[in-house]
Structure 1
Amino acid sequence: MSWALFVDESGQDQRNSPYEVLAGVAVEDRQIWPLIRQISDAQQHFFGMRLFEAYGAEAKAKELLKTKAYKHAAQMDAFGNADRMRLAKEMLEDGENPTRARLTALAQAKIAYCEFILELTRRYGGRVFATMVPQDAPRPPNGEQMRKDYAFFLERYYHFLNQSHGDPMGFLVFDELDKTSSHVLLGQISRYFQRTSNGRTRSRLIIPEPFFVHSDLTALVQLADLVAYLISWGLRLPRMPASPRPELEPLVDIIQRMKYQHMTGGGYPVWGIKEVRDLRPQPTTPH
């Protein structure tokens, strides 16, 4: 038995997003393929086609759930499933000739699809882990050591595995942005697992070498992208000053029900979503 943690990020460009988010969706190995198949079926149901066929690339959450989508969705009454799918498919296939009905139906389909696949993932036992970083957080001066948000992220994943029945192993699946960045991250994670006491402990349950995949070909990394976007724009922890987008609340509520949580022996809650205000790692002493 094992769990795969599919990982993606939001707000890494430090431009418009209120928070930089590292998010992961953990899925038990025997549930991965059934979940992928149902996500594919959902795209056919809501859009009449696969989204990759429509866009020729990954359907990013920032396009599916941007503010304009909600404005378009509200400009007409809700369509029935059959009409919504037909009009959404027409819009995707003939984008040069938009109509009010087509734009509305496509926007409603996008929102309904996102809600459906999040709820589907929850029913399949998915667990959410994430860190939220303010855009002005201090950052490491070089790329040698792993950032503190990654350390907290792996810590929570390790505790989840350690508390799960059946002594499961966990592995990491990252979105490959470019080979240089992937090699940097691979080196950081390798040093963390090999040269720090916490890392060596956690390598007992987490395979230290992550897998890198292309997100446009990997449905569950696209799911992690959706979760990261929603956390950045719609979820707020105590004492976070930035306002969330209220229209995202129904989707964020599903994520809240999937987040990892644990009560320690001393009665203290540990949550799978954590704010990290300083990315500089703690000094470590090699052993």
Structure 2
Amino acid sequence: MSWALFIDESGQDQKHSPYEVLAGVAIEDRKIWPLIRQLSDAQQHFFGLRLYEAYGQEAKAKELLPRKTFRLAAQMPPIEPAQRTALAREILLDGTAVSKARLTALAQAKIAYCDFVLKLAHQHDAIAFATMAPQDAVRPPNDDAMRKDYAFLFERFYYFLNGTPGDPMGYLIFDELDKAKSHVLLGQVASYFIKTRNGRTRSRLIIPEPFFVHSDLTTLIQLTDIVAYVISWGLRLKGMNAESREELSPLVNRVKRLRFSRETEGGEKIWGFKHIQDLRPTGLKPA
């Protein structure tokens, strides 16, 4: 048995998002393909087609869950599911076929789909990890060292694996980046797992070399993207003072059900979500 950690980000453009979020969703290997198939079927159910057919790529959470989606969804009463799917399909296939009913149906379908995706992830025992950093968080001066949010994500993933019966192995799956960024990230991850004491310890259960995907597996990257977006815009921990979007509350509750938590023998609670003010590795902080 092994677990894959699908990793994605939200708010990395440092423009509009209140928090920069690095999220990971862990799925047990034997459940990956069944979950992908059910997510694909869900798109067919809610939209009448795969979102890839409509957008040419997996739809991002920022396209599914912006404020505009909720505003359009509320301009009419809930539409009966079969009719909602038909209307959503019509406007996805022909963007010029604009009508109030079609726009409303598509918006309602987007919200219902995201809610179902998170519910389905919980049914498949997915485990979520995340770090949230304010947009003005202090950052490393260069690309030599891995950022603190990645180190925290790997730490909590290791805690999860180490506390799971059988000590299963874990591997890392990132959304495909351009070659230069991928090369930088590969170097940072390798350096962390090979040159640091914590990294060497965690490489006992985490395969140090990550995978980059752009095929059907991006369905689960999309799931992680939804988790990251909902956290950035809707979930608030102690010390997170940025305004949250109330309309995302039902989805925030879904995400919370996925959050990793564990109690140590000493009674300390370990959580999988953390608010981080400084993204520099510990060794780069001033004394």
Regarding TM over 0.5, the answer is yes
Q: Distance in 2 between matches of 1:235 and 1:28?
A: 25
| Aligned-residue offset at 1:215 | 7.0
Q: What is the match of residue 137 of structure 2?
A: 137
Looking at structure 1, the residues matched to 110 and 69 of structure 2 have their Cα atoms a distance apart, in angstroms, of 8
2:255 aligned residue: 255
**Code of the aligned partner of 2:264:** T
Q: Do 1:58 and 1:216's aligned partners in 2 also have CA atoms closer than 8 Å?
A: no
Unpaired segments of 5 or more residues in structure 2?
A: none
Quick one: distance in 2 between partners of 1:166 and 1:193? 22
Kept after mapping to 1: 8 A contact 2:58/2:218: no
Aligned residue for 2:181?
Answer: 181
Cα distance, 1:90 vs structure 2: 0.6
Deviations 1:179-226 (A, max 9, x none): 111110110000000000000000000000000112786200111111
- Which TM-score applies when normalising by structure 2? 0.97
Q: Percent identity?
A: 66
Query: What is the aligned partner in structure 2 of residue 40 from structure 1?
Result: 40
Runs of 4+ in 1 over 3 A off after TM superposition: none
- The one-character-per-residue Cα deviations of 1:21-77 (angstroms, maximum 9, x if unpaired) are 000110000100000000000000000000000111220100100100000000001
**What one-letter code is carried by the residue in structure 2 that aligns with 1:201?**
T
| Counterpart position of 2:214 | 214
**Secondary structure in 2 aligned to 1:40?**
helix
Counterpart Cα distance in 1 of 2:58 and 2:258:
24
Classify the secondary structure of the residue corresponding to 1:173: strand
**Count of residue pairs the alignment pairs up:** 284
Q: Equivalences for 1:127-276 in 2 at 5 Å?
A: 127-214=127-214, 218-276=218-276
Please report the TM-score for the alignment, with normalisation by the length of structure 1: 0.97
| C-alpha contact 2:5 2:171 (8 A) present in aligned 1 | yes
Inter-partner Cα distance in structure 1 for 2:239 and 2:5? 28
Query: Which residue pairs with 1:283 in the alignment?
Result: 283
- Aligned residue identity for 1:62: K
Matches for 1:42-121 after TM superposition, within 5 Å: 42-121=42-121
Structure 1 stretch displaced more, 148-157 or 215-224 = 215-224
Please, what is the CA RMSD of the aligned residues? Answer: 1.1
> Cα offset for 1:109?
0.3
Give the match for residue 19 of structure 1.
19
Gapped runs of 5+ residues in structure 1?
none
Distance 1:58 1:277 in 2: 31
Give the 3-state SS of the residue equivalent to 2:283 in structure 1: coil
